[in-house]
Structure 1
Amino acid sequence: MMDFEYRVIRVPAQVTRAQARELLVEHAEYGRWELARVRIMQGGARTVWLRRRIIRVRRTA
């Protein structure tokens, strides 16, 4: 079973789509996050859920 950790980012309505995309691309490239879910609120603000796999290191002896 895969375990994920999640990060929630809230993007205000004043941020353009291009700026929001740049922010998410940086998280994806440097933090290895992937897009899990986007919710657009009534005022235009966006809530973005990012996820990445948790890598468990097994002890070898």
Structure 2
Amino acid sequence: MDVDSSAADGYEYTPLRLPSDLDTLSAQAQLSVAAEYGGWELARVLRFADGTRKVTLRRKPGKRLLPGLSY
């Protein structure tokens, strides 16, 4: 997962692409796991015409006990 921590607003960001064949419930589960165990919150969602979603997650930088996302 590519994390950008150079943002001026004090957050670090990471992109996540969800394929079009992934149903809404599974997408919600993936994002919930990222929030619960990685400290990420939803910053932006773009849904494309082909059904794929580009999700941007953010979190405050700091010490993390668990590794980043690995999808």
Give the number of aligned pairs: 56
Give the structure with higher Rg (CA).
1
| Higher strand residue share | 1
**Percentage identity across paired residues of the two chains:** 39
Structure 1-normalised TM-score? Answer: 0.85
Larger RCO (CA within 8 A; separation ≥ 6): 1
Residue 55 of structure 1 deviates from its aligned partner by 3.3
TM value normalised by structure 2: 0.73
> How big is each residue's C-alpha offset from its partner over 1:10-45, in whole Å with a ceiling of 9 and x where there is no partner?
000000000000000000000000000000011000
The runs of at least 4 aligned residues of structure 1 exceeding 3 Å deviation read: none
- Structure 2 residue runs of 5 or longer lacking an equivalent are 1-7, 64-71
